[in-house]
Amino acid sequence: MILVTGATGTIGSRVVRLLTERGVPFRAMSRRERPGGVRADFDDPASLAHAVADVDTVFLVTVPPVPTADHDIALVTAARAAGVRKIVKLSAIGSGERFDGATVGAWHLAAEEAIEASGLMWTMLRPPSFASNVLWYRALLQAGEPIPNLAGDSLQAIVDPRDVAAVAVAAMTSDAHDGQRYDLTGPELLTFADQAAILESVLERPVKITDTIALDQLPAGMVTGIGWARAGGAAYATDHVPRALGRPAGTFEQWARDHREAFAAMP
């Protein structure tokens, strides 16, 4: 039995889909009652104990309103008590790197360290920006307004979230990925302007960008990570997706073409 946290999110929803297609038993955790799921809250130890009962493997995704490892650690505590064998954690690229006097992804790093110290088997997934992040700007694109460029002129190997989900499922259903820390990148380095140009070609309409961003209005942890990426920290591609899946990583252009209709839908 697999417990999927973050089951309605970008990666978790795809993990649920893949597990369903493969007939793998799983339990989707959320804070609301859902058919076939389990209701639990990271701030409620009793509900976590119920969620991890009779579970072998956990897919761990936390998105706290303020960056903290508390939710990850609460799940790890419940998992150890319940006899869970493995945790596959969705982390972030660059976690643990130092930038401008701060630690990139400090809360992800603290959670990773807690998982490693737990005695459980583990796999850490560290993707950069998702190709699907541009969907946040559907309303702006539909209105012909410029979309915000958080990345500046920096390069990143934007990853298809479908690849991240596929590696997560591979790690949960095989021991071949135990003890691995994967930087799950796409195959090519792109600037945000490159992404906009690709979208413009795929959508067949102008896509404008703006560099006027109020970074000081973002959470401190996010600002550190963005600053690190803008300084070139994430400007590399790895072979971790093809190594884990035995096939090439998807490109941003292919993702955009596969999701062309999503940009016409109301956000």
Q: 100 near 69, Cβ under 8 Å?
A: no
- How many whole angstroms separate alpha carbon 2 and alpha carbon 76? 14
Report DSSP state, residue 156.
B
- Residue 42 has what pLDDT? 95
- Residue 18 has what pLDDT? 98
Is residue 55 very low, low, confident or very high in pLDDT (cuts 50, 70, 90)?
very high
**Percent of the chain predicted with pLDDT > 90:** 87
Is residue 32 very low, low, confident or very high in pLDDT (cuts 50, 70, 90)?
confident
* Residue type present at position 264: A
**Residue 174 above 90 pLDDT?**
yes
- How many whole angstroms separate alpha carbon 55 and alpha carbon 82? 8
For residue 31 the two structure tokens come to: 């804070």
Span 202-230, pLDDT tens digits: 999 999 999 876 666 666 667 889 999 99
Q: 263 near 138, Cβ under 8 Å?
A: yes
**Count of CB atoms within 10 A of residue 166's CB?**
21
- How many whole angstroms separate alpha carbon 58 and alpha carbon 35? 19
State the Cα angle at 255 between 15 and 226, rounded to 5°. 80
Number of helices and strands in the chain (H, E): 10, 11
Average pLDDT over residues 36-42: 90
Choice between 266 and 163, residue whose per-residue pLDDT is larger: 163
pTM here? 0.95
For residue 206 the two structure tokens come to: 């102008």
Q: Where are the alpha helices (DSSP H) in 128-237?
A: 138-142, 161-173, 192-203, 220-230
Q: What is the Cα 160 distance to its own chain's centre?
A: 10
Is residue 267 very low, low, confident or very high in pLDDT (cuts 50, 70, 90)?
low
- How many whole angstroms separate alpha carbon 10 and alpha carbon 132? 8
Is residue 35 very low, low, confident or very high in pLDDT (cuts 50, 70, 90)?
confident
Give the mean pLDDT of the chain: 94
Q: 170 near 244, Cβ under 8 Å?
A: yes
**Residue 96 above 70 pLDDT?**
yes
